[in-house]
Amino acid sequence: MHVRGTVAGEVDVKSVSTSYGESDLAEVPVRLADDGDGDSGNGNESMRAERLARDAGGEPNVADGHETTTVTLWNKWAESADYLEPGMELLVTDAKEEEYQGETRYATTGDSYVVVEPSFLVNVTSIRNWVECPRLYYLNKLSGVPLNYPVVKGTLVHEVFGDLLRDRPLAESIEARVDERGLELGLLGETPEAVAEDVRENAKAIEGWLEQGRLTEEDSWRSEQLLISETFGIRGRADAIRRGAPVELKTGKNLKKEPRFKDKVQAACYALLLEEHGGEVDTGTLLYTKNSVLDRNEETGDLTPAKDFAMGDGLLKFVVRQRNELAAMEVAGDVPTGYEGSAKCEYCFEQDTCMVVSGRLDQESKAGQIGQPLPEEEREYFQRFYRAIEEERREVHREYAKLWEQDARERADDDRALIDLEFVEKRPLEGGRWELRARRTSGENSKLREGDLVLASDGHPVRGDSELAMIERLDDEVVLTADEPVEVTRLDVYPSELTTDRLLVAMHDALLKGDERRKDILFGRTEPEFEAIPETFIDNNDAQNEAVTKAVGARDCALIHGPPGTGKTYTIARAIRAMVERGERVLLSAFTNRAVDNALEALLEQLEDVIDPDRVVRVGSESGVRDDMEPYRLERSGEPEDRVAELQNAQVVAATTATCGSRVMKEQAFDVALVDEAAQLTEPGACAAINLAERFVLVGDHEQLPPVVRAENDLTESLFERLIDCHPEAGVMLDRQYRMNQRIQAFASTEFYDGELRPAEPAVAARNLDDLDGVSRESLPDDLRDPVSFVEVEGEDSQYTDSEEAARIADLIETYEAAGLDRSDIGIIAPFRAQVSEISSHVPEDVAVDTVDRFQGSSQEVIIVSFTATGTLEGPIFEDYRRINVALTRPKRALVLVGDPTALATDPVYERMLEWATA
DNA sequence: ACTCTGCAGAGAGGA
């Protein structure tokens, strides 16, 4: 039986004498996981337990209830008790039940595994690093892996290995794979010929070994399998599986008889994963492709590339104990020192880095410290943001846990998956990959989109046959590409830690590699300086002109505050043009692809006669970049020299901040980084972009929506907002708006911009529906003739929807249409997604309906807002007033508010809004 | 309590 629960108190570790001699044991008070009364998740919990029990050959049985009991961890498992803290989750497999003084207790058996925080999914490579040295694991996380040839070559050989297993001809595979990495190889100064030759050398070893296998007996192969273990809390991608056993490919040389220990550890992780998926694993294979048959040692006769080893019980348990230590440390938020392990620092490649990081951050470390610690405020900043980013990571981990917490049926109301697909076909693609097709059987909504990486499974993403796949098309039919042919009936979001990783690296780089003057600015120790620029850039808008002047003349940074409709994008484009004319290299960035493409579009107009369009490059994935910007997109594959020239010669590079944190972009340097929508960026997110440049310009509006973060923490305030407070003299507010009629802008102006926002010209102030072709306000009912109107509804009591408001809005659309308005000129905004779909079902398809959050950045002739609140205005969505600022500043000519006045009057800001709208 | 965008992924190697 398996015991799962939460540590409920202090752990008692002791030594006792048994008939076998001295034994260690730890007594852990555990509050057993709830398995009682049939609310959601429990059925599944017991399913899981049953399955585990079945796998272990036992009776389906699980400890249940809320009571606290004692679980005894024997011998080496007592080690895992050292870092157990109250509140941590604990799982003991194959435990035995004991009666002790009338109480039921549990204890480990010889077959048991003890898993600490099983829902914290640890990467196989993380365990591998950790086993080598816990401090190495930490350093890797902080600074990432830079672009270097051995790593790129290693990746290439792995890809070719996978291709060979999928029967792709060697020559074709090498050519294609080398071509795909053109950009990276170019940056490394490699030629395709030399790389291909190098890869061919390694591939020989693989081919020879595959040949051997094919001669002896029937071999069963599978390449590149993504595996997740809910029991052991491990996830990873095995290079290959042969006859059920893991095969790990290593591009290095190993002339010893035995595989390297850390390589065995890696294979052991895959063995655990495979066992959970119903396998019986007793061997592992390491394939060292730099070893050739010529290396064969005459004495041992054993130095061929492939080394098999027996997968012992001791190794598997060791691996789980190491994983436990890692998970416990992460959950507690501690930093490893290196003393946890036994690695010798003088043999370590990272010794210098380790000492420098320890010295700069004043951390305890086995390798010792070098250099002066950073000033205390910087160390404090590091810790604060490290904690915040790791909290975000934990949220991502919680999403992994959701993959198995709920079973398929319960997921129907969850938008993280598409269930109930009907498998249509699998078709081999050129290059050994597969195209999978499935049909959607219901119209369910999900957050999955084209270009997303998902877990494609035959029913269950963790327990079933599943594979990482790319969504190529998503309408009535789903088209996917994947390495292996899964008969897909279900898709799940595959959570990614990529952005969290990059945030951490960006923060690390800003503090540990950052320029001192830059840091003085970021920490408010020095005032930003500006060069005097006599030129006039924009002659009909003083604030815009000042913004461009500041951006161009900034020695350190400039901050442009752009309220709705104030021509932010134009100002950015004009500023970049001026920089380009001065011969500077400019990075244009923003958090979202949409913002990057919008800014780029405006910029291209400005640059038309200034530079060759070839010198403007958009870096990003095909699915992220908008179609009309595709011609500027930097292709990754191709002739290395050409690809790298395209990037290096570009005078303007546009990319999202996440992409700025990528290995390729980190190799680039710029004179200026210009970041749009900067108020939506966390501090480390903004750092990813500004790290690459000498100076920076942030453009945004902190009165609109803040960064999207999963956890409540220090990441919610943007760098833009903090710097505006800290260096007001570096900021300029664009104060003239070109969007809204005077009546419409009035409320936002007084409420959010101290009354300083005003129409740019009389024509803007006087805008109304009569300006539109074929529309006459005369034909509208009285109460809709004003630019701002309020439509009272009683409302309905349900929480996130209001069908009465939806129906009323449908009427409004008809009314506007009757008055000659085009449906495509109307936008409807609601706070909740549930209400968005409710409204969508009431109105014609070509009317844009969306949440406030998604409407940010766009505008419409007419905007209708559905407040979806009856009686009261409670709920976090209404608390952030920046959200109403966004909603109310989208229209140009007419704004209609639909809601229950009683509810709105319960909050002072909404009450003022009501007064303004009904005046 | 709700809102929700980024990322190909995880792992690539060197004594």
φ and ψ at residue A595, rounded to 5 degrees: -65, -40
How many Å from the CA of A338 to C1' of B11? Answer: 22
- Average pLDDT of span A804-817: 95
Q: Considering only CA atoms, name the residue closest to the C1' of nucleotide B15.
A: A347
Beta bridge partners of A28: A71
Chain position carrying tokens 């403007």: A616
pLDDT tens-digit profile of A812-847? 999 999 999 999 999 999 999 889 989 999 999 889
How far: A453 CA to B9 C1' (Å)? 9
B4: residue with closest CA to C1': A708
Q: Does residue A409 surpass a pLDDT of 60?
A: no
Lowest mean pLDDT among A13-27, A194-208, A216-230, A882-896: A216-230
CA-CA distance, A573 to A606, in Å (whole number)? 6
Examine domains A407-497 and A515-734 and report if their fold is the same. no
> Where do the DSSP E strands lie in A141-213?
none
On the question of pLDDT at A590 being above 90, the answer is yes
Give the closest residue to A783 by CA, choosing from A771, A796, A792, A795.
A792
SS3 for A650-667 is CCEEEEEHHHHCCHHHHC
Nearest to A466 by CA among A484, A447, A450: A484
As a rounded value in angstroms, the CA-to-C1' distance for A866 and B15 is 66
| Residue A409 three-state SS | helix
Q: How distant is C1' of B11 from CA of A137, in Å?
A: 14
User: CA-CA distance, A130 to A710, in Å (whole number)?
Assistant: 27
- A419 CA from B11 C1′ (Å): 30
Q: Round to whole Å and give the CA distance between A550 and A805.
A: 47
CATH number belonging to the domain at A515-734, selected among 3.40.640.10, 3.40.50.2300, 3.40.50.300, 1.20.140.10: 3.40.50.300
A94/B5 CA-to-C1' distance in Å: 43
- CA-CA distance, A489 to A556, in Å (whole number)? 54
Calpha distance A897→A743 (Å, rounded): 14
Distance A353 CA to B6 C1' (A): 29
Q: How far apart are CA A724 and CA A632, in angstroms?
A: 33
Contacts 24+ apart (CB under 8 A), A618-623: A618/A653, A618/A654, A618/A655, A619/A647, A619/A653, A619/A654, A619/A655, A619/A659, A619/A664, A619/A665, A620/A593, A620/A596, A620/A655, A620/A656, A620/A659, A621/A451, A622/A451, A623/A450, A623/A451, A623/A452
Distance from residue A312 (CA) to nucleotide B15 (C1'), in Å? 27
Mean pLDDT, to the nearest integer, of A755-772?
95
- Give the residue carrying structure tokens 């209001």: A802
Q: Give the Cα separation of A290 and A61 in Å (integer).
A: 50
Residue A649: the pLDDT is 94
CB-based contact A484:A464 (threshold 8 Å): no
A332 contacts A85 by C-beta, under 8 angstroms: yes
Whole-number distance in Å between A132 CA and B15 C1'? 13
- Residue identified by tokens 């976090």 is A876
The pLDDT tens digits of the residues spanning A374-394 come to 999 999 999 999 999 998 888
Residue A63: which pLDDT band, with cuts at 50, 70 and 90?
A: very low
Q: State chain A's mean pLDDT as an integer.
A: 87
Q: What is the pLDDT of residues A81-91, one digit of tens each?
A: 888 889 888 99
For nucleotide B9, the protein residue with its alpha carbon nearest to C1' is A468
Give mean pLDDT, residues A106-130.
91
Assigned superfamily of A742-918 = P-loop containing nucleotide triphosphate hydrolases (3.40.50.300)
Task: Enumerate the H helices of A333-415 as residue ranges.
Answer: 351-361, 376-405
Residue A43: what pLDDT?
A: 35
Give the CA diameter of chain A.
Answer: 101
How far, in Å, CA of A695 to CA of A115, rounded?
Answer: 49
pLDDT value of residue A53:
41
For residues A793 and A805, the answer to whether their CB atoms sit within 8 Å is: yes
In this prediction, residue A294 has a pLDDT band, given cuts at 50, 70 and 90, of low
**Does residue A407 have a pLDDT over 60?**
no
Strand partners of residue A758: A736
Residue nearest to nucleotide B12 (CA to C1'): A151
Please name which of A75, A90, A100 lies closest in space to residue A23, comparing C-alpha atoms.
Answer: A75
Question: CA–CA separation, A733 vs A714, rounded Å?
Answer: 25
Nucleotide nearest to A470 (CA to C1'): B8
CA–C1' A590–B6 (A)? 11
Nearest residue to nucleotide B11, by CA–C1' distance, is: A125
pLDDT digits (tens, 9 = 90+) for A887-912: 999 999 999 999 999 999 999 999 99
Q: Looking at this protein, which amino acid is placed at residue A293? A: V
Q: CA A834 → C1' B4, Å?
A: 14
Q: How far apart are CA A718 and CA A723, in angstroms?
A: 9
C-beta neighbour count of A413 within 10 angstroms = 7
**Confidence check: pLDDT of A688 > 80:** yes
Which nucleotide's C1' is closest to A344 (Cα)? Answer: B15
* Residue (of A66, A55, A417) closest to A272 by Cα position: A55
Nucleotide nearest residue A594, measured CA to C1': B5
Tell me the pairing of strands A466-474 and A453-457: antiparallel
Nucleotide nearest to A248 (CA to C1'): B11
Per the document, the length of chain A is 919
* A862 bridge partner residues: A826, A894
**Residue A468, nucleotide of least CA–C1' distance:** B9
**What's the pLDDT band for A62 if we cut at 50, 70, 90?**
very low
* pLDDT value at residue A219: 64
Q: Which comes out higher in pLDDT, residue A714 or A269?
A: A269
From the alpha carbon of A124, which nucleotide's C1' atom is closest?
B10
Q: Long-range contact list for A351-359, CB < 8 A, 24+ apart?
A: A353/A139, A353/A143, A354/A135, A354/A136, A354/A139, A356/A512, A357/A139, A357/A142, A357/A143, A357/A512
- Closest CA-bearing residue to C1' of B14: A349
Alpha carbon separation from A385 to A496, A503, A526, A558, A684 (Å, rounded): 19, 9, 22, 24, 8
In this structure, the dihedral spanned by the alpha carbons of residues A297, A298, A301 and A306, taken in order and rounded to 10 degrees, is: 30
Mean pLDDT comparison of A172-181, A283-292, A434-443, highest-scoring range = A172-181
Q: Å between A189 CA and B15 C1'?
A: 26
Q: What angle do CA A808, A810, A813 make, to 5 degrees?
A: 115
Q: What pLDDT is attached to residue A746?
A: 96
Least trusted range by pLDDT, from A33-37, A518-522, A610-614: A33-37
Nucleotide nearest A347, from its CA to each C1': B15
What is the CA A622 to C1' B8 distance in angstroms? 11
| Helices A170-180 and A149-165, axial angle in degrees (round to 10) | 140
Separation CA A685–CA A589 (nearest Å): 11
Instruction: Pick out the nucleotide with least CA–C1' distance to A619.
Output: B7
- pLDDT tens digits, A39-58: 333 333 444 444 444 344 43
Residue A853's nearest CA partner among A894, A890, A806, A823 is A890
Of the candidates A678, A747, A745, the residue with the CA atom closest to the CA atom of residue A706: A678
Nucleotide closest to A121 measured between CA and C1': B10
Q: Where are the beta strands (DSSP E) in A662-787?
A: 670-676, 693-700, 731-733, 736-737, 758-759
* Domain spanning A3-34+66-116: CATH 3.30.70.260: no
Dist. CA A458–CA A465, nearest whole Å: 6
pLDDT bin (cut points 50, 70, 90) of residue A218 is: low
- Nucleotides on chain B that have an atom closer than 7 A to a protein CB are 1-15
Q: Which nucleotide across the nucleic acid strands is nearest to A875, CA versus C1'? A: B1
Distance A459 CA to B14 C1' (A): 42
How distant is C1' of B9 from CA of A324, in Å? 24
User: How much is the pLDDT for A827?
Assistant: 96
Whole-number Å distance, CA A96 to C1' B2? 45
A622: the nucleotide nearest its CA (via C1') is B8
Output DSSP code: residue A416. T
Q: Considering only CA atoms, which residue is closest to the C1' of nucleotide B1?
A: A875
Q: Which nucleotide is nearest to A236 (CA to C1')?
A: B10
Residue nearest to nucleotide B8 (CA to C1'): A453
Q: Which two tokens stand for residue A634?
A: 């930097």
Which SS3 state, helix, strand or coil, does residue A300 take? Answer: coil
Decide if A177 contacts A136 (C-beta within 8 A).
no
- Asked whether A141 and A504 are in contact (CB, 8 A), the reply is yes
Question: Which residue in A86, A75, A81, A84 sits closest to A24, CA to CA?
Answer: A75
The nt closest to A833 (CA vs C1′) is B3
For residue A864, with 0-12 CB atoms within 10 Å meaning exposed, 13-18 middle and 19 or more buried, which class applies?
buried
Across all strands, nucleotide nearest A708 (CA–C1') = B4
Span CA (A108) to C1' (B7), Å: 41
Q: Say whether A552 sits in a helix, a strand or coil.
A: helix
3-class DSSP state of A104: strand
CA of residue A793 to C1' of nucleotide B3, angstroms:
24
Rank A141-145, A256-260, A411-415, A542-546 by mean pLDDT and report only the highest.
Answer: A542-546
pLDDT tens by residue, A630-666: 999 999 999 999 999 999 999 999 999 999 999 999 9
pLDDT band at A483 (very low <50, low <70, confident <90, very high): confident
Nearest nt by C1' to A146 Cα: B12
User: Which pLDDT value is given to residue A237?
Assistant: 87
Q: How far apart are CA A833 and CA A813, in angstroms?
A: 20
Model pLDDT for residues A252-271, shown as the tens digit of each residue: 777 677 788 889 999 999 99
Amino acid A161 CA to nucleotide B2 C1' distance, rounded Å: 46
Closest residue to B5 (CA, C1′): A592
d(CA A357, CA A31): 40
pLDDT over threshold 80, residue A605: yes
Q: Does domain A407-497 have CATH number 2.40.30.270?
A: yes
Which has the higher per-residue pLDDT, A286 or A536? A536
Split at pLDDT 50, 70, 90, the class of A296 is low
Task: HSE, CB side, 13 Å, CA atoms: give it for residue A310.
Answer: 3
Give CA angle at A784 (A780, A789), nearest 5°: 175
* Domain boundaries, given as residue ranges, for chain A: 3-34+66-116, 147-217, 407-497, 515-734, 742-918
CA of A709 to C1' of B2 (A): 13
Q: How far is CA A671 from the centre of its chain?
A: 28
Closest CA to A125 of A247, A229, A236: A236
Residue whose CA lies closest to nucleotide B2 C1'? A877
Tell me the one-letter amino acid at A251.
T
